[in-house]
Each structure stands twice: as structure tokens, then as C-alpha cells.
Structure 1
Amino acid sequence: MIHGVILAGGKGERFWPLSRAEYPKQLLRLISSKTMLQETIDRILPLISSERILVVTSEDIVSPILDEISMLKRENILAEPFGRDTCLAIGLAAMHIRKIDPEAVMVVLSADHIIKPAEKLLEIVSIGAQIARDEDRLITIGINPTRAETNYGYIKMAEPYKVFGGISVYEVEAFTEKPKPLVASGYYYGHKHLWNSGMFIWSVDSILKAINSCQPETANALDEYAISIGTENENEAIRALYNKCDPISIDFAVLENAENVLTIRGDIVWDDVGSWNALERYKTKDQDNNVVIGDARLLNTYETTIYNDNDGIIVSLGVSDLVIVKTRDIVLVAHKTQVNDVRKILAELSKDDSMKRYL
């Protein structure tokens, strides 16, 4: 059967100060009236029932997730003691799924992406699942680039593998992480590269074999942990597992080294909603190209994103190209070209005990 694995452990730091440690981006209602996590679950429910969905997340936000997502039970959530990136998170989920369904196919999704139309994604997932059942393949979903984006990873397509009802599947030649602007422009105009969406499809057997081949120490640690699944020692064992393993992404750890990788060319709208600047791609703008969410009054303000999450109003006068965010205890004002540097501010705040309440 097909099982869904939703990676929901990120901190969403580039959406600070709205995204906070106790209530990160995946629990925010940034694009619609639903949380990003709920949107992701709803997207795959026509194909994967809720009891076959696993959410891998930080142990610190298990309770908020259960409060927000009523269809999820505690057994639907794998709680990480601390972050170790996607290789370990995916390996952990694979071990749990294998325990109940050794022949399962895993669909790995991120909790905080925009994908439209959902029906097209389900068609792509169904094709990937069909391949994963029949062959020892690691399948990525690549997205046709719509701009020369430097904040995304890229997949270089090799020779065609098959075409399923108009959806093309390719062998993978190479992965590139966050290229320089000139390189990204070449990828965009060259039509041989896809964005790496961070969505994957494979059998539990295939991904665990690949981790064993490419990251044997992690594989051994996962095997030791698996003995404890469902026992009273599980919480202690997962902490020991995470202490043993270094942080590394599934891309660096496995996909860049494996020789059995395919990519499905996804002709869909996809966005990782990576920072405040993403809102201008999906929210309605006023006549001066401003995005305004919450109470605000603007005069001679242009190309500015304003997000007011609290009482009172934001007043802007004679400014342009800014991001202005107001929460109950923080006001952020940043130029759009520097708003991604908010992580530098967070790094400074983390050094001061009196400031940690703002993280």
C-alpha cells in the first residue's frame, strides 16, 4: 500500500517573527484559512487515508499539531528529539512503516509547500508508486522552473525513461544545490534542469537499501533502533539514535550517490513558500503592488508586503520594497533583498538569554 510521510520538523526561520519555535511555519495560515500542514494532508487524502499518514516533526510541537489537526492521532506522529535533517527523518519513518507493511511504498512530502492542482500531483504520485512497486528505484518529483531561482536545488535530466499518459519520467544525471545567478539562468533557459521539490517516492525496501549502501553507520543505527519500535524503550532508543547520527539531507546522503534515481517531470505549480517574499506570488496586490494582510494604512507605499498579526494598525508612508511584519511582541522591518538574512538576527538573539523568548 501507499503510505504518506510528511516532513514537518523545520523551524521556518525565514518567516520570523510570525514563525516561532513553539509555533513554526507549518502551523501558520499563510496562504489560506488552513495551516500549511493541514493543506498538505488534505492534498493527499484522496490517495492515502489518514491512518497511513506519518508526520515527522519536533517533539516540541506534537501537542500543537494534535490541537490543530483533529484527524491525526498520536500514533500518526513521529517525534524527533532534535533535528538531524531529512536522511534520518526519512529512515525513521521507513523503519516504522516497514514494521506494519514490509512491501509499502512511501510518498515523502514537505509540510509547507504550495502545489496546484492537487489532482495533478496525485496523478504524478500514482505513476511514481507504480514504478516503485515494480522496480528498485528512487523517484524524485522535479518541477519545471518558472524563473532562474537561486534558492532551490536543481535536477539535471538524462535520457527519457518512460512516458505515462503525457507525464514524462527521466533518468537523473546530476543534482545541484542552490546555484549562483548566472548558473541558475543557464538552467532556466537550457530546459535540461528541473527544480528539486523535495518530494520523493520509493518502496521502504529501496530507500533502506540505499541508506545502507550510502550511509552504513546511519543504517546500522536505524537497525538498532527498530528493535525498540512499539516497546516501552522506544523513547529512549530514538534519543540514542539521534545522538549517534550526524545531520545530513537525503539528497546529499543518498540521492547524489545512488545510480537508480529517476525524476518525474511535474508540470504543476509548486512553491516552497520559503520566505516573506513568497507571499507576493500568491496574495492579491493593491494598485501599487503592495500585499497587505491585517489592518494597515498606506500612503505613497509601493511594492511592499505588510503583515499585521495583532491589534492596532501599521502605517507606512513614503516607502517601497519593504517587508513589514507586526506580531504581539515584535516588529520586523526589512528590505525585500535582505529579508532572508533574518536568520542572522536570530543567531544573535540566541546568544542572549534575555532575548531567547523572541525566538
Structure 2
Amino acid sequence: MNFVILAGGSGTRLWPLSRDHQPKQLAKLVSEVTMLEDAIANLGALASPQNLYISTNSTFAKLIREIVPSIPANHYIIEPEKRDTGPAMAYVATWMSQSAPDEPMAFIPSDHFIRDRDMYQTTLRAAETMIRETGKLLDISVQPTFPSTTLGYTKVGKLIEDRHGVHFLQFLGHREKPDYPTAKQLLDDGHYLWHASYYMWTPQKFVEAYQQYAPGIGNYLNDLLNAIEAGDSQQLAAVYSQMEKISIDYAVTEKMNPEDVLIIRGDFGWGDLGSWDTVYDELSHTTDSNRNLIKANWHGVDTHDSLVFSTSQRLVATIGLSNIVIVDTPDALLVTQRGRGQDVKKIVTLLKERGADTYL
């Protein structure tokens, strides 16, 4: 199986750590290495320079090559421009279809947290076998713990098969990023899992799905393939720019025939590090006696249930605070309440509107 690390996003909800020139996947957020390096390490012996690919943009590619120089230059799939995951993943599938149209491949997000690497790798091995046997799209979903409005929800039915503790479930439908009342209903329903965005199929099957369900993308894939094969970067960019700017979840997942999909319940300690709130939640087991998550040179008095993160050795001191997020970088400081993590992207939008591009 081939693995494609998705590393083209900017992660605006993790500002000011995540920037246009230094996105979250290239930051050391949860360990002593970057999130991208963690994503590769999570794959263990399953991945090697021969079957590992990077999907990103030209700016990030330069940085990634410095971080993981072992990946061959011809294993970088460079997006002509940012157009969301729908076009990006269609481009990857089309690109991969040149050399391995029927070989299973897995899209691996670069910003997720995996606690149990052994079970994660066992899950991916089982997925590869199931793709070869059934020809179906495999997707991983995980048990929800609260009514999230930033994740998609997968409705699942009966257990299809249990392979070495990996549970394959019937797919009954997908709801992408519902509002809070709907998310609460889905959580209470008991038949919905969080969609973790690990798509696994063959490149040719992905291409066919786009052509069937997402004509705003699929209708351009033959022209895109011709441009790729000709090595014509200008034509490639021209074709790519015409594709509908949309996520794969809205473009394809919500529309797919349930008979063509199997869901794997991810039981490997998955976490989506998409905001400072989720960073706190996923790393809450490392908090101090006052439930503070500290990644900084910090001293505090009467401070509880807070996150303090710094990229420097500058001292951060707090007094009488609770449920606060403080993120300190050399040129920008964020202070907000825990629970307002989704609103950080509003600051990014505000900075853009005011021309403060230096801080983006």
C-alpha cells in the first residue's frame, strides 16, 4: 500500500503557532519532533521512501525536504494552488494513477494525534487486505466524545467483520460538520462516529468516484492527467484552477453509495489537533495537579485548567486565571478562553482584513 501524507493545510485555528510560512504540521506541538514527522513515525515499518508520498504546496515542500530528506523528490505531489481537499485529493489520485492505478493507497492527515501506534498499524494492514478483497472504499471513523461542529459524522450499521480486533462496519451515510443542535442529536443517536478523514482505496477507484459524484472536479481529471503526463505545469495549473473549490467530504463522501464503502472503527487513541481546545483535551493526561497543560517556561499562582504554550524561553507568569489559553511566539501573543478555540480563525480573518500580513 502507498501512503500519501496530506501536508498542504495552514491550520488557522492554531494561530499564532501555525502560520502561512510555517504551518502546524511543521511545528513541534506535542513532542520533540514536528507533527509531520510524528505522522510518518506512526506508520512504522509500513512506510518507506519507496511507498511514502507528500501532498503539499511548493512553499511547504521546501521546508518538508529539510525535515525529512529521505523522501525522494519525485514523491512530492505539489498542488498548483490551494483549493481544499476535493481538488487536492483528486489531483493526488490522478497523479498516482499513472504508475499504480490499482494499488491501494491511504491518505494520511499530518496533524492528527495517535496514542496506540501498534493498533494503528494493525488497522492499516487490515484495511489494505480488505481493499484488495472487496474493492471498496475504506474509511476510518472514531467514537465521538462531545457534539463537535468541526468534524463530519459517519452513520454506521452492523458489524461486517472483526479482523484481529479491527472492526469493519456497515456504512449508512455521512453528515459533514453539522450545527450544534444537530451534532448533539447525532451524538445521542448512538449510531454515528466522528469521521477521521483516512481515505483508503485505489487511485483508479478514487478517480471514478470523482467522475461519478463530483463533476465539478471529475470532469477535469482527464485533462489533468494529460497535463501531468506531458509535464506541462502551466496547463496543469490552468486545469486545476477550474476545479470546484470544495472538500472531498461534501464533494464525494456525502453522496456515495453505501454499498461501495466500509467503515473501520478506529480504536487506536485518535485525536484531531485542529484547535487549542483540542490540543488541551488530547493532552489532558499530561496536565499538572491544577489541570494546567504547560509547554512553556511558566510560573503561576492560583492558575487552573489552562493551557500555556511558548516557542521561546521567555518567562510566562500568571495569577488568578482559570480556563485560559496563552500562546506566546516571538512576534505574536494569543490570550483567549478555553472553549473559544474555533474563534481563533476569526482573528486570522481580522488580521487579513486589516493588512497585518506580517503576522499571518
Structure-2 residue corresponding to 1:13: 12
Aligned to 2:50, the other structure's residue is in SS state helix
Structure-1 residue corresponding to 2:59: 60
Aligned to 1:323, the other structure's residue is in SS state strand
Superposed, 1:184-333 pairs within 5 Å as 184-229=183-228, 231-233=230-232, 235-259=233-257, 260-280=260-280, 281-282=282-283, 284-333=286-335
Q: Using the TM superposition, name which of 267-276 and 46-55 deviates more.
A: 46-55
Distance in 2 (CA, whole Å) between partners of 1:45 and 1:331 is 36
Distance in 1 (CA, whole Å) between partners of 2:319 and 2:234 is 55
* Residues 155, 193 of structure 2: 8 Å contact kept: yes
Distance in 2 (CA, whole Å) between partners of 1:339 and 1:278 is 8
Aligned to 1:66, the other structure's residue is in SS state helix
Distance in 1 (CA, whole Å) between partners of 2:335 and 2:307 is 10
**Gaps in structure 1 of 5+ consecutive residues:** none
Aligned to 2:150, the other structure's residue is in SS state coil
Distance in 2 (CA, whole Å) between partners of 1:356 and 1:342 is 16
**Residues 190 and 68 (structure 1), Cα distance of their counterparts in 2 relative to 1, 3 Å cut:** same
Distance in 2 (CA, whole Å) between partners of 1:265 and 1:220 is 33
Distance in 2 (CA, whole Å) between partners of 1:148 and 1:225 is 39
* Residues 24, 35 of structure 2: 8 Å contact kept: yes
Scaled by the length of structure 2, the TM-score of the pair is 0.93
* Residues 81, 241 of structure 2: 8 Å contact kept: no
**Gaps in structure 2 of 5+ consecutive residues:** none
Q: Using the TM superposition, name which of 170-179 and 257-266 deviates more.
A: 170-179
Q: How far is the alpha carbon of 1:65 from its aligned partner?
A: 0.8
Q: Which letter maps to 1:293? A: K
* Residues 216, 244 of structure 2: 8 Å contact kept: no
Aligned to 1:99, the other structure's residue is in SS state coil
* Residues 176, 254 of structure 2: 8 Å contact kept: no
Superposed, 1:173-192 pairs within 5 Å as 173-192=172-191
Q: How far is the alpha carbon of 1:196 from its aligned partner?
A: 0.3
Superposed, 1:81-120 pairs within 5 Å as 81-120=80-119
Q: Which letter maps to 1:242? A: Y
Q: Using the TM superposition, name which of 202-211 and 177-186 deviates more.
A: 177-186
Aligned to 1:89, the other structure's residue is in SS state helix
Q: Which letter maps to 2:18? A: S
Structure-1 residue corresponding to 2:344: 342
Aligned to 1:84, the other structure's residue is in SS state coil
* Residues 97, 104 of structure 1: 8 Å contact kept: no
Q: How far is the alpha carbon of 1:107 from its aligned partner?
A: 0.7
Q: How far is the alpha carbon of 1:135 from its aligned partner?
A: 2.7
* Residues 5, 53 of structure 1: 8 Å contact kept: yes
Q: Which letter maps to 1:107? A: A
Distance in 1 (CA, whole Å) between partners of 2:310 and 2:155 is 41
TM-superposition CA deviations, 1:22-51 (whole Å, max 9, x none): 000000111111111111112224113222
Structure-1 residue corresponding to 2:30: 31
CA RMSD of aligned residues (A): 1.8
Structure-2 residue corresponding to 1:123: 122
Aligned to 1:277, the other structure's residue is in SS state helix
TM-superposition CA deviations, 1:298-353 (whole Å, max 9, x none): 11111111112124211211111111111111111111122321111111111233
Distance in 2 (CA, whole Å) between partners of 1:180 and 1:348 is 23
TM-superposition CA deviations, 1:203-229 (whole Å, max 9, x none): 122111111111234223121121232
TM-superposition CA deviations, 1:54-95 (whole Å, max 9, x none): 211122211111111122232121111321111211111112
TM-superposition CA deviations, 1:229-252 (whole Å, max 9, x none): 25441x213311221111111111
Aligned to 1:197, the other structure's residue is in SS state strand
Distance in 2 (CA, whole Å) between partners of 1:209 and 1:71 is 32
**Residues 60 and 313 (structure 1), Cα distance of their counterparts in 2 relative to 1, 3 Å cut:** same
Scaled by the length of structure 1, the TM-score of the pair is 0.93
Q: Which letter maps to 1:158? A: G
Distance in 2 (CA, whole Å) between partners of 1:131 and 1:196 is 19
Distance in 1 (CA, whole Å) between partners of 2:33 and 2:229 is 32
Q: Using the TM superposition, name which of 4-13 and 151-160 deviates more.
A: 151-160
Distance in 1 (CA, whole Å) between partners of 2:344 and 2:144 is 26
Q: Which letter maps to 1:344? A: K
Count residues with an aligned counterpart: 356
How many percent of aligned residue pairs carry the same amino acid? Answer: 28
